[in-house]
Structure 1
Amino acid sequence: MTSLDDASDTGTAGVATQPIERAIEFIERSFAQPVTLATLAATAELSVSRFAALFRAQVGISPHRYVCLVRVRHAQKLLRGGVPPSVVATEVGFFDQSHLGRHFKRTLGTTPAAYLAAAE
């Protein structure tokens, strides 16, 4: 089972330039809200296509995948704190509990319930 508690597990491939760092900081602050590629590109002061290419090259994954990783990392913390999965889902920006479950399993290889059972 993989854990996303370390920043190194979020896919960061190397040193990011200032525009990409601004976008990452925006994601870290706003992950629970809808985060669009256009918003991230504007935050980085780049065109959408240039931003997407630079982000993938510097971080190692797509911006959307990074947002999902950040959301799952925060979901892990809330779940460990005893917050019900249905509440966690909306708190971290997923549409509903099944949306959380799909991304959680894709990211960590386990469901939220199995993750909690293994953590006990």
Structure 2
Amino acid sequence: MLDHPQVRAWRPALAGIEEVYHARITDHVYPMHTHDSWTLLIVDDGMVRYNLDRHEHGALDQMITLLPPHVPHNGHSVTPTGFRKRVVYLDSSQLGDSLIGLAVDSPVMDDLLLRQRINQLHQALEHTGDELEAESRLALVSERLRSHLERRFEDHTPTRDAGIAHRLRDLLDEKFVEGVSLQDASAALHVHPAHLVRVFSREFGMGPHQYLTGRRVDLARKLLLAGMAPRLVAASAGFYDQSHFNRHFKRVLGTSPGRYARSGPARHLADPPT
């Protein structure tokens, strides 16, 4: 009896990504098919065997597989226990059609840093509301994929551009409640998105999304101590929803917003919250 695949699929509200697909596959065999987007695949458990352009390849743990659009491929598990995979389908804004031939020649990449960045991208995509983090992760992943395909690896680490980093911080400070997308920041500052993320992280020791979250949590603390209900603080401080607020608040402070609000001395009735 065949086991049905365990599947999670969704389309994030993030430009550049068509679909996110997580699956546990046991008996299913993928027939030859194509996609109109780039297939960025990592395998968390097991191994996949597939044919691409009449050549056989394997996708296994710790390796990255990049299948180009419009090129037929199939896939099946190598072991009886199946495999577990995570996929993001990238549109041509991330990797242009001019790179298709290079990807056909070398669809498998052995790059631990890239593997870590793809994993971080998936984690960001699973948490609704972390748009700036997802954008930042995607920019770094796409840049490194292009470097692999074009066989060029520029050294991005030594350069320090404090001016751009501080201009981005000023922009985040102006809009930390309503938020600002990485694409909008890139257009406003005339700097490539991936470079923005690198110089900011180098200058301040944290990514732009971490800085933005920190500003929001700091505002939330003030609102909670002023007596505002936690359910109202979430939107007032710029968080997507209550669960998004709770998760980030606890990650920063180690306690929930409700506990934090109740931690001080009881407020006297003659001293109403502002």
TM-score range, shorter chain: 0.7 to 0.9
Task: Give the superposition deviation at 1:90.
Answer: 0.6
Within-5 A mapping of 1:1-120 = 17-120=162-265
1:75/1:92 contact within 8 Å kept:
yes
- Which has the higher Rg, Structure 1 or Structure 2? 2
CA distance in 2, matches of 1:43, 1:78: 31
CA distance in 2, matches of 1:44, 1:23: 8
If the length of structure 1 is used for normalisation, what is the TM-score? 0.79
What do residues 6-59 of structure 1 show as CA deviations (whole Å, max 9, x unaligned)?
xxxxxxxxxx82222121112112111132122233343311011110011011
The structure carrying a bigger helix percent of its residues is 1
CA distance in 1, matches of 2:167, 2:264: 34
CA distance in 1, matches of 2:221, 2:245: 11
Gaps of 5+ in 2: 1-160, 266-274
- 1 or 2 for the larger relative contact order (CA 8 Å, sep ≥6)? 1
The corresponding residue for 2:116 is none
The structure carrying a bigger strand percent of its residues is 2
Task: Give the superposition deviation at 1:96.
Answer: 1.5
Task: Provide runs of 4+ in structure 1 moved above 6 Å.
Answer: none
Q: How many residues align?
A: 105
2:227/2:261 contact within 8 Å kept:
no
What do residues 67-118 of structure 1 show as CA deviations (whole Å, max 9, x unaligned)?
1111000111111111111111111111112211100001111111111222
Q: CA RMSD in A?
A: 1.5
